[in-house]
Chains A and B, each alone.
Chain A
Amino acid sequence: MEDWRVYKHPILEFERGKEVTLYLDGKPMKAFENETILAAMYANGVRVFSRSIKYHRPRGFFCAIGRCSSCMMEVDGVPNVRTCITKVKDGMHLRRQKTFADKFAPFLNLLNLSPLAYNRMFTKPGIIYKPAMKIIRQFTGQGSFSKKIEESGEEIMGIDDEFSTELLIVGGGPAGLSAALEAGQRCDDVIVIDDKEQLGGQLNRQTHMFFSDVKYAAGKRGFKLGKEMVEKISKLKTVRVLPKTNAIAYYPMENKMLMLRSTDRGLMVKAKKYIVAVGAYEKTLLFENNDLPGIYGAGGVQTLLNIYGVKPGKKGLMLGTGNVSLIVAYQLLQAGIGVEAIVAPSFRRVSGYLVHAAKIRRHGVPIITRHTILRALGKQRVTGALITELDEKYRPIEGTEKRLDCDFICMGVGLTPSYDLIQLFNPKMVYSSELGGFVPVRDMQFRFAENAYIAGDCGGVEEATTAVLEGGLAGLYAARSLGYADEEVSAKIDEYEHALEEDRGSPFSSDIKAALQKITVENIEEVIK
């Protein structure tokens, strides 16, 4: 069997643990400790993880960070486990939740088009709903509990622990870590939570050196920066780090946040101040067959390749000419993976930095502008792509279709702020295309609710370096309002504010700056009341 792991990389060293064995539908597979289930299966050549609910189309992974839900499988009898964020254990048993659809998909689709469509039947009356659901769940691939778990009785999650803190920081990426560092040096009790096992967020998968001022992050490779920040925080006795913890609800009346630790422990935390630094998730593009296994988000590819050292394919097509797309194309080349081309409708210019574009051009990767993808080719997985030229009004020009060979397609078409948790604070949300999507109105001190601060990409998509600066500032603002105000804090705030202003001084940031100005107000209390 082909091994898709990268063993020699010019920049990275992959820390693989002991060799273990997984069983996929009973078949043994080699894996290493520290790998996620998804990475291990990918390394073994598995590409289909689940099937879509209605038409049973094959599903690969898209995001690899626990957001897209298309890699869900049954793991040791527990259904709907997100395999991309679950680490392997020796002797783990994995099961696809709808294996029979591999064989009977055409038949099931016919059934779906007929009046017997099971999606709509048996919902009434209530008596037949429950037993019918058991069967329907099998068809839809939503899984069922193993006998053992069912017999143990229905368990409703309870609150295992309740405590209070001065400052709770949600998100351990560049913004959250930076906030924890600054606040932790000044406050007495700070908690940082992150849903991953390892803090660092998107920094962990960045192998390139950062721009910006050398005083902050410039000239360092992203994954090193993340490690350094985590190390510094671990030395602060005032900061408690809770990895593998999800913030799932916020109750404004009681000012409490409900969190779920390692999927089975409920924690209720009451904090005086909150910093929300939950980042952003990837956008997708609309085109025919865009759900085929082998179509990924750029971040998903980075996670698989740069954190776990597993190749996403042999030759890829990149969509989009933003910095993320250009950087990922370069990272693919570094790992010895081919890049067929970068395709984007951009008319005026490559949307990322020219230096990033030049890096891949000089290695022979063409950037095909004024083009877009029409459809992905392939039945069970990507085997190519059909692209077309566009006219000035972004309409495809007939007769210009061209087939490109590739076994994966990677989208770097922008990010959108993650607002799920933010909106529970009852802020005023506005849509801003420059900032990537829905963002809350905030004041000059990043407050978007009475007791909550925002920092990083969730407040508007920018660079990791701006996230570091914003996070540091949010940490300082929070510390100041908690009563830790002295001259040193004010001086540090001035320094950060100046650095942020300077960092946004390039023409690339002018739209973002204008958009941020529009949603920043003098007095947040007036807006949220």
Chain B
Amino acid sequence: MQDEQNAAQRGYSTREELQKSRALPPIEKVKEKRVCIIECTEEIPCNPCVQACKFGAISKEGLCKPGVVDWDVCTGCTQCVAICPGMSIFMQRIEDGKGYVTMPYEFLPEPKIGDKAQLLDRSGKVVGEGRIVNPTYQAKGDAYPRWVVTVEMDDPELSYEVRAIRILE
């Protein structure tokens, strides 16, 4: 029964499904620079990502249509990661044989550079351990305070799977 499930029954899309719907960036782009991935496949009324992107890399045909990224234009600035209400925007980068994933983080403990963290995939399975390299935080009092955290992992393939972290204290 488990294999028959589609994304809407399972509660998340798999890498293969996202690849089919062209949500994942081509490997050349990922190796060239940090780029954004929108894992938001349903039609829901929402548009903060379009407004947040200063470079116009994200577009939507209508309020309810899924967002589309122009990876040539995306600079990897992470503004969209910070504002996405669905927490479904990530950044991916492969450099010097290491994988990097940038994600929103709304848990405790607060992240610090060098912290070790368990890497969780879309189903919550622990798939490895990584290091936090670049946590940024929009100060409290702002419209959308949230940590945006980049984790480094030794296996670059994992950057296609890791979507959450659990910081080890």
User: Which residues of A are interface residues toward B (Cβ below 8 A)?
Assistant: 8-11, 13, 208-214, 218-221, 224, 333-334, 336, 346, 348-350, 353-365, 367, 369, 465, 502-509
CB pair A361 B124 closer than 8 Å: yes
* Contacts A334-B106, A505-B62; A211 near B45 (Cβ below 8 A): yes
| A141 CB, nearest partner CB in chain B, Å | 41
With a cutoff of 8 Å between Cβ atoms, the chain B residues found around residue A362 in the complex are 12, 120-124, 163-164
Q: A354: which of B8, B107, B140 is its contact (CB, 8 Å)?
A: B8
CB distance from B2 to the nearest CB of A (A): 11
Please name the residue on chain A nearest to B125 by beta carbon.
A364
Q: Determine whether the beta carbon of A506 is less than 8 Å from that of B45.
A: yes
Interface string of B97-140 (1 = CB under 8 A from A): 00000000011101000000000111111000000000000001
Which residues of B lie under 8 Å from residue A502 when comparing CB positions?
A: 45, 62-64
Residues of B contacting A220 in the complex (Cβ-Cβ under 8 angstroms) = 143-144
Contact present for B47 and A209 (CB under 8 Å) = no
B152 within 8 A of A: no
Supply 7 further A-B pairs (C-beta < 8 A) apart from A346-B9, A506-B64: A8-B108, A334-B107, A348-B9, A355-B44, A362-B121, A364-B120, A503-B45
29 A-B contact pairs sorted by A residue (CB < 8 Å): A9-B108, A10-B108, A11-B145, A209-B144, A212-B63, A213-B45, A213-B63, A214-B48, A219-B51, A219-B85, A334-B106, A346-B9, A349-B9, A350-B9, A354-B8, A354-B13, A355-B87, A356-B86, A358-B86, A358-B163, A360-B11, A361-B124, A362-B163, A362-B164, A367-B10, A502-B63, A502-B64, A506-B45, A507-B42
Query: What separation, in Å, do the CA atoms of A117 and B125 have in the docked complex?
Result: 57
Cα A504 to Cα B124 in complex, Å, equals 32
Contact of B41 with A213 in the complex, beta carbons under 8 Å: no
Chain B, Cβ-Cβ closest to A224: B143
Q: Are A357 and B63 in contact (CB-based, < 8 A)?
A: no
Report the nearest B residue to A355, measured CB to CB.
B86
Q: Which residues of B contact A349 (CB under 8 A)?
A: 6, 8-9
- In the complex, the chain A residue whose C-beta lies closest to that of B123 is A361
Evaluate contact between B88 and A355: CB separation under 8 angstroms.
yes
Across the two chains, which residue of chain A brings its CB closest to B42? A354
Q: Are A219 and B48 in contact (CB under 8 A)?
A: yes
Given A362-B120, A362-B121: A505 and B64 interface contact (C-beta under 8 Å): yes
A502 CA to B47 CA, complexed, in Å: 12
Is B9's CB under 8 angstroms from A369's CB? yes
Residue B155 at the A interface, CB < 8 A? no
Chain B residues 1-41 with CB under 8 Å of chain A are 6-13, 39-41
Contact: A353 with B64, CB < 8 Å? Answer: no
Among residues of A, the one whose C-beta sits closest to the C-beta of B48 is A219
Q: Does B46 contact A (CB under 8 A)?
A: yes
CB contacts (< 8 Å) of B52 on chain A: these are 219
**In the complex, what's the smallest C-beta–C-beta distance from A339 to chain B, in angstroms?**
11
Let me know if B43 is at the binding interface, CB within 8 A.
Answer: yes
For residue B20, give the distance in angstroms from its CB to the closest CB of chain A. 15
Residues in chain B within 8 A of chain A (CB atoms): 6-13, 39-48, 51-52, 62-64, 83-88, 106-108, 110, 120-125, 140, 143-145, 163-164
Residues of B within 8 A of A361 (CB): 10-12, 122-124
- Contact: B85 with A211, CB < 8 Å? yes
Q: How far is the CB of B88 from chain A (nearest CB, A)?
A: 5
- CB proximity of B115 to chain A, nearest CB, Å: 15
The 8 closest A-B pairs by CB, nearest first: A364-B124, A355-B86, A349-B8, A357-B11, A209-B85, A219-B48, A211-B46, A358-B12
Q: Which of B12, B39, B85 contacts A208 (CB 8 A)?
A: B85
Q: A348 contacts which chain B residues (CB < 8 A)?
A: 8-9
Give the residue name and chain of the A residue nearest to B40 (CB). A355
Complex CA gap A433/B47 in Å reads 29
Q: A219-B144, A363-B120, A365-B124 are contacts. A506–B47 as well, Cβ < 8 Å?
A: no
Cα distance, A73 to B64, chains bound together (Å): 48
Contact call B124/A363, Cβ cutoff below 8 A: yes
Q: Are B45 and A212 in contact (CB under 8 A)?
A: yes
Task: Tell me the smallest distance from the CB of B91 to a CB of chain A, in Å.
Answer: 16
Q: Chain B residues near A224 (CB, 8 Å)?
A: 143
Write the nearest CB–CB distance from B58 to chain A, whole angstroms: 13
Cβ A221 vs Cβ B43 within 8 A: no
Closest-by-CB residue of A relative to B7 is: A354
- A333 proximity list for chain B (CB < 8 A): 107
CA distance A156 to B68 in the complex (A): 65
Report how far A369 CA is from B164 CA in the complex, Å: 23
> Which of B11, B86, B108 is the one whose CB lies under 8 Å from A211?
B86
Contacts of B10 in A (CB 8 A): 361, 367
Complex contacts, A357 vs chain B, CB 8 Å = 11-12
- Closest residue of chain A to B144 (Cβ to Cβ) is A219
| B-chain residues with CB within 8 Å of residue A213 when the two chains form the complex | 45-47, 63
By a CB distance below 8 angstroms, the chain B residues around A211 are 44-46, 85-86
Measured CA separation A502–B63 after assembly (Å): 7
- By a CB distance below 8 angstroms, the chain B residues around A509 are 45
Given contacts A348-B8, A362-B121, whether A214 and B42 have CB atoms under 8 Å apart is no
Smallest Cβ-Cβ distance to B49: which chain A residue: A219
Given the complex of chains A and B, what is the CA–CA distance between A507 and B145 in angstroms?
30
Residues of A within 8 A of B11 (CB): 350, 354, 357-358, 360-361, 367
Among B6, B83, B85, B87, the most chain A Cβ lie within 10 Å of the Cβ of B85
Shortest Cβ gap from B21 to chain A (Å): 12
A359 pairs with B108, CB closer than 8 A: no
Quote the shortest CB–CB distance from A360 to chain B (angstroms). 7
Which residues of the partner chain A approach B46 to less than 8 Å between Cβ atoms? 211-213, 218
Q: Name the CB-closest residue of A to B108.
A: A10
- CB of B109, distance to nearest CB on chain A (Å): 9
Contact, CB under 8 Å: A358 / B122: yes
Chain B residue with Cβ nearest A209: B85
- CB within 8 A of A214: which of B47, B62, B140? B47
Q: How far is the CB of B124 from chain A (nearest CB, A)?
A: 3
Q: In the complex, what residues of A have CB within 8 A of residue B41's CB? A: 354
